[in-house]
Structure 1
């Protein structure tokens, strides 16, 4: 056991178990306790690379009659893992970084003992003081550092896993994850994540569970108590408030990755927005200046570059309600909504409550709204309909005597509708620097903030902030 042949044999045995090339540094022995400065494994199928520093373990001989080595009390000072579930052809780029290690591994020849010693290993327990993990998957990736890991044998071929502490960076969230703990089980080359808890953003909590087998995995999660202010660019942090909660699923196989879930904003408030101040002025109510949201929810489904946001409900009790669906496909928008307002809200704008907003359910006046364009340049069709209705309504209000005046003051009469519309101010003019422009900005940045929350969608927060500067 103290010979170099035994070291080579153990390297081959571990490499076979990992379906990879493996290499142990020289062993130092004290009785049945072994220590080595390092271990490396390369070219595995999903676990592409392993590097362990400061490894020690106890070797038992009781399992030799069963054809296994009994290894217990494994201690590892530092462990680095590279896990890549992309197909091998897409992972070939990783091999360029592994050439030096591969050259060392390929020089090992089978030892003299490989023909008659056990070729299987049973681990009783493994403890890692600090682990760094680099995970790459079609659905996204993550980098974890300074994780404390404990693995214990629970039954034949099964192991319980406990991970505590550490920081995780991932493109699935716009914030670093501060891991509290994660519990799971490994059995028959399948990993079961039974429970995971982490801190996210300032005081949010993220819980996960799921299953991983080769290229296939399913993750189920919930996000709670994240402040909406943390999801938007800095200049919007005083304009939107509330707690964001979400439940989601990530289902992936070798062909596709599907993300779906539901997001809810509680205690939501919109304030300090020019468009709200303008609406308040023309509706003669200050309630629009600080719009308290009684309901704000939506569901999402993402596959590839297509994102469907469905069952959208945004409401302020006694004021306004917006419902609908929107699709984002390669940043192109296609949305259909219904906007409901309390009767009398827009009575000061000619035609608004008689030709555009019509009586419907929940005692509200409703109007359809179409959203098109792109995330950076959205377009809506409600403004033009409001302008047209205002002009039409003004002509209807001109009395019969006024019709005679049209013959003598045609120019002034023709200008009348536009002046009436102008009296409604920037709400109807579509001035890109005014209220409607601000409303379009709400769509653009609001949509970007929604995307920040959805796992697997590239965060736009940094990009938006740079544009605002």
Structure 2
């Protein structure tokens, strides 16, 4: 009895020690497993197989082809001289100087996480249709992304310890070029990408600095407009680029604020812009720079596609606008003896604008100089041809020195216009270099009619005073010749008077 007890007691400690040893070894293995996996991963990351695996992973996710130059590791930091990406939906990216650091603390939390990611130079280019990659690539949503350990020599039982989630703690691009087959491009901008986690379908980004090239060209510009980019915030996805807000400047003077969308699948883009303080001297041709000064403001909507010119609609307004050195203004000053016409301050200058190709359409045009004149109507410029229909209103005081103007010319009505003005229709035709108007001829005819209808003594005493601004000093001093013609035949005299007045009245816009 005692012998059996001694045998049992001698064997029990051995089994107990064995069980304890197994437990200890198991605990050590469990504790050391992450370290074993991490050490294996550290070694695998520096192998050529890892670079090939990355190319496959990113190619699947981006639905295209990816090429990475050899990776160089310094501790946890890795650099690649260059990388190239081309997708099946027509985008090509060239990255130079890729730098990033792996966060191994996140690895212990079952996450792949990069920090301090930066790119020295990124060129993102939209390819023309004939250059788009045609090799079929399965959609990322239809094919599971390859694991980093697939195809490696890592034991199967260790792979379960690998992270299954990815996270990028932001990216900085020192120099970005965004190129497009169309006329819109961004060059030399700085880009910051917000943190991104696997599963998110969009990415927030902020661009600063750089130059924005546009297809827009003003008459005074020999090349299309280029804008300086101050700051732009946007959201990027596979289907859409949403421009939340962009602030730009032009020639260090005017400011432009823009919002919009670019939809590559629909091949369409749309921008809404607010323009403030654009100097008119930068918008006008050389001959008009000395005639019109001020600043351009307005709200515009621009819609376009890669292979078509943009369509611009909106409302334009001139601030602090002044018209001067115009023949028509000098004539009006002489006709009406109102010196304000020589330097016409435009208190109101607005128009609704639509520009498509060579056609420029201005609706609801309003030009007003308080207490002097009001012009409203429409103007269409097709290529070089001009076609304008307006109503011109002036104060009655400005007509008192124009013979017959009140009775024969300014006889129209405009119930919606300012009260107390005399109105007449005005047509402008011709070309941009030689516009023609119909007001001078009608004023001349009215003056001739008034001369024929006036009593002889009025003609003799006041013709030079009334007509000299219209016909000149010499003709104004010889009213008898006109009266003589009138006594022969009224129609012939009127024709003679009108021709004489038209010949020296010059016409609008220097005609």
Counterpart check, 1:357 vs 2:393: no
SS in 1 for 2:332: helix
Question: Is residue 2:277 matched to residue 1:232?
Answer: no
SS in 1 for 2:180: strand
- Within-5 A mapping of 1:87-236: 88=129, 92=130, 122-137=167-182, 141-153=183-195, 156-172=200-216, 175-187=225-237, 189-214=239-264, 215-236=267-288
**How many Å separate the matches in 1 of 2:180 and 2:373?**
45
Measured at CA, do residues 334 and 418 of structure 1 come closer, stay the same or move farther in structure 2, by a change above 3 Å?
same
- Name which of 81, 92, 103 aligns with 2:124: 81
Distance 2:89 2:503 in 1: 64
| Aligned counterpart in structure 2 of residue 313 of structure 1, from 363, 366, 388 | 366
Q: CA deviation at 1:54?
A: 0.8
Q: Matched residues in 2 for 1:293 and 1:354: separation?
A: 27
Going from structure 1 to structure 2, the CA distance change for 1:147 and 1:410 (only over 3 Å counts) comes to same
Which of the pair has the greater relative contact order for Cα pairs under 8 Å at 6+ separation? 1
Native 8 Å contact 1:349 1:424 kept in 2: no
Q: Secondary structure at the match of 1:278?
A: helix
Q: Does 1:24 align with 2:77?
A: no
1:261 deviates by 1.1
Assess if the C-alpha contact under 8 Å between 1:41 and 1:50 holds in 2.
yes
> CA offset at residue 116 of structure 1?
6.0
**Cα gap change, 1:221/1:19 in structure 2, threshold over 3 Å: closer, same or farther?**
same
Alpha-carbon distance in structure 2 between the residues aligned to 1:113 and 1:414: 101
- Name the structure 1 match of 2:98: 55
Deviation at 1:353, TM superposition (A): 2.4
Confirm or deny that 1:386 pairs with 2:386: no
Q: C-alpha separation between the residues in 1 aligned to 2:488 and 2:349?
A: 49
Whether 1:277 aligns to 2:330 is yes
Q: How does 1:242-391 map to 2 (within 5 A)?
A: 242-252=294-304, 258-303=311-356, 305-361=358-414, 362-391=419-448
1:6 to 50, 54, 61: 50
Residue 66 (structure 1) shift: 12
- CA shift for structure 1 position 330: 4.5
CA distance, structure 2, for counterparts of residue 71 and residue 398 of structure 1: 99
C-alpha distance in 1, partners of 2:147/2:104? 19
Moved more, 319-328 or 116-125: 116-125
The alpha-carbon deviation at position 323 of structure 1 amounts to 0.6
Shift of 1:171: 2.6
C-alpha distance in structure 1 between counterparts of 2:340 and 2:307, whole Å: 50
CA distance in 2, matches of 1:189, 1:10: 24
Once residues 249 and 187 of structure 1 are traced to their aligned partners in structure 2, the CA distance between those partners, rounded to angstroms, is 23
Alpha-carbon distance, 1:356 to partner: 1.9
Change (3 A) 1:351 1:412: closer
Q: In the TM superposition, what is the alpha-carbon distance from 1:65 to its structure 2 partner?
A: 12
TM-score, structure 2 normalization: 0.68
Secondary structure of 2:175 counterpart: strand
TM-score normalised by length of structure 1: 0.74
Contact 1:394/1:416 (<8 A) preserved: no
Question: What is the rounded CA distance, in whole Å, between the counterparts of 1:407 and 1:236 in structure 2?
Answer: 42
Between structure 1 and structure 2, the one with the greater Rg is 2
Q: CA, structure 1 residues 413+258, in 2 after alignment: closer, same or farther (shift >3 Å)?
A: closer
Cα distance in structure 2, aligned partners of 1:13 and 1:304: 45
Q: How big is the shift at 1:246?
A: 1.2
Q: CA deviation at 1:37?
A: 0.9
- The change in CA–CA distance for 1:253 and 1:395 in structure 2 (over 3 A counts) is same
Q: Shift in Å at residue 167 of structure 1?
A: 2.4
Contact 1:202 1:226 in 2 (8 A): no
* Aligned-pair CA distance for 1:120: 9.6
After superposition, the C-alpha distances for 1:293-351 in whole angstroms (9 at most, x for unaligned) are 11000111234554432111011112111111123345544332111122242443433
- Cα distance in 1 for partners of 2:486, 2:403 equals 25
Contact 1:134/1:144 (<8 A) preserved: yes
**Structure 1, unaligned runs of 5 or more:** 99-110, 431-435, 441-469
**What displacement does 1:213 show?**
2.5
For 1:8, what is the secondary structure of its paired residue? helix
SS, match of residue 276 in structure 1: helix
Structure 1 segment 396-435 matched on structure 2, within 5 A? 396-397=453-454, 410=488, 414=492, 418-419=496-497, 422=500, 426=504, 428-430=505-507
> In structure 2, what is the Cα distance between the partners aligned to 1:331 and 1:8?
60
Structure number having the greater strand percentage:
1
Q: Judging changes above 3 Å, is the alpha-carbon distance between structure 1 residues 285 and 371 closer, same or farther for their aligned structure 2 residues?
A: closer
Q: 1:351 to 1:145 in 2, by over 3 A?
A: same
CA drift at 1:233: 2.7
Gaps of 5+ in 2: 1-44, 134-145, 153-162, 219-224, 457-479
Q: 1:76 to 1:199 in 2, by over 3 A?
A: same
Is the 8 Å Cα contact of residues 445 and 494 (structure 2) preserved in structure 1? no
Deviation at residue 226 of structure 1 after TM alignment? 1.7
Change (3 A) 1:217 1:64: farther
